[in-house]
Structure 1
Amino acid sequence: MRLIGMLDSPYVRRAAITLKLLDLPFSHESVSVFRTFDQFRSINPVVKAPSLVCENGVVLMDSTLIIDYAETLAGRSLMPATIDARQRALRILGLALAACEKAVQDVYEHNLRPPEKVHQPWVDRVDGQLARAYALLEQEIAATRVPADAAALNQADLTTAVVWTFTQALLPGRIVADQHPALAAFAAAIERFPVFTAFPHA
């Protein structure tokens, strides 16, 4: 299998780490949706990262759908099996993905849109959603134990760390680490796992 996309995308990175944790063989190709648009389009005409080229040539896209396929292929899931634990993991995962979506929107607004085209009420709304997602995520992670090793990671843990690292790298000072101590410590611990250092935020 071939995973297409840059590791500076939190969606590509969470897919890559998941595939590795599931012990699925794959190659990673750092193709950018911006700098190498035409090359990406030749692989997936929709130009959406991540894209997964399956062994039969079928191209899948969207990290959550790629992870669903990968877990089916591996015959195991990174989500808890019991209903209470699964509900809590889904709550954390939903907050992390909401924070990710708003962080990406914020990056696009400030880095891709000309300043004269920025609509400040929209930016304020996105920033508010981002702040609230992280405030709620901080509460959840404050009550969460740091996994002892990569084998103990679930998808909520994995995605939370990836999204935090992305936000800190691309939006420095927007979500202050000192105001989110549990998240900062949690992500820092997970980022030291070999499976994370093997696929670093680029």
Structure 2
Amino acid sequence: MRLIGSLTSPYVRKVRIVLAEKKLDYELILDDPWAAGNQVTAHNPLGKVPCLLLDENEALFDSRVIVEYLDTLSPVGRLIPPPGRERIEVKRWEATADGIMDAAAAAFLETHRRPEAQRNTDWVQRQTAKIQAGLDYMNTLLGEQPYCTSVNLCLADIAVGAALGYLDLRSPELDWRSQYPNLARLAEKLETRPSFVSTRPPAA
């Protein structure tokens, strides 16, 4: 398998963490979806990373689709429960974490990619409010639990960890750790795992 992605994308990191936890071999192809002549557009009509190329050259895209596929490839460390209430709970965590990543990426692009005269500060504030609401929701839901849904690591924790790592990278001014101690405790634990250490994004 070949994974097209960037080192700073939290969605790519989520997939790479799953690959590491599942002990699956793959080749990482670095690509900038914003650059002219990028590689990902040839495989994903939406032009987004991550994009997973299978052996038969079939392409899978959207991190949620990719990680669900990867979890079926090996019985090692199942990350997504079978259909039922537990699975829905994991996917709810993932949806919340992905929503935080969406808002953080949108705010970063507005602030750093758009000319200053064209920036919409009200829109950025709206994205920031989404981030804070998502963090508050997850911090309360996590409580004193060791992991998001049980005593074991699952996809929910990987998605949350990727989102929190992205906030550290792109939105350090939020200082989320001081406001959300339950999430800070979880992040501290996750960041010691080899899968998180090996996929840590380069400093901004």
- Change over 3 Å in CA distance of 1:24–1:111 after alignment to 2: same
Counterpart of 2:39 in structure 1 is 40
Counterpart of 1:113 in structure 2 is 114
- Change over 3 Å in CA distance of 1:43–1:168 after alignment to 2: same
Partners in 2 of 1:116 and 1:83 — Cα distance?
A: 49
Deviations, residues 68-94 of structure 1 (Å, cap 9, x unaligned): 221233367412348443343233222
Normalised by the length of structure 1, the TM-score is 0.87
SS in 2 for 1:38: coil
Say what the alpha-carbon RMSD is for the aligned residues. 2.3
TM-fit CA distance, 1:10 = 0.5
Size of the alignment, in residue pairs? 198
- Change over 3 Å in CA distance of 1:65–1:91 after alignment to 2: closer
Counterpart of 1:126 in structure 2 is 127
For the pair 1:57 / 2:57, whether they are aligned, the reply is yes
- Change over 3 Å in CA distance of 1:180–1:160 after alignment to 2: same
TM-fit CA distance, 1:43 = 4.7
Q: Write 1 or 2 for the structure with the bigger share of helix.
A: 1
For the pair 1:189 / 2:182, whether they are aligned, the reply is no
Q: Could you tell me the percent identity over the aligned residues?
A: 24
Partners in 2 of 1:121 and 1:45 — Cα distance?
A: 32
Partners in 1 of 2:58 and 2:101 — Cα distance?
A: 27
Normalised by the length of structure 2, the TM-score is 0.86
Partners in 1 of 2:65 and 2:96 — Cα distance?
A: 18
Partners in 2 of 1:70 and 1:37 — Cα distance?
A: 30
Partners in 1 of 2:92 and 2:144 — Cα distance?
A: 13
Within 5 Å, give how 1:150-165 maps onto structure 2. 152-165=152-165
Partners in 2 of 1:70 and 1:184 — Cα distance?
A: 28
Contact 2:51 2:61 in 1 (8 A): yes
Which runs of 5 or more residues in structure 1 are unaligned? Answer: none
Which consecutive aligned stretches of 4+ in structure 1 deviate over 6 angstroms post-superposition?
Answer: none
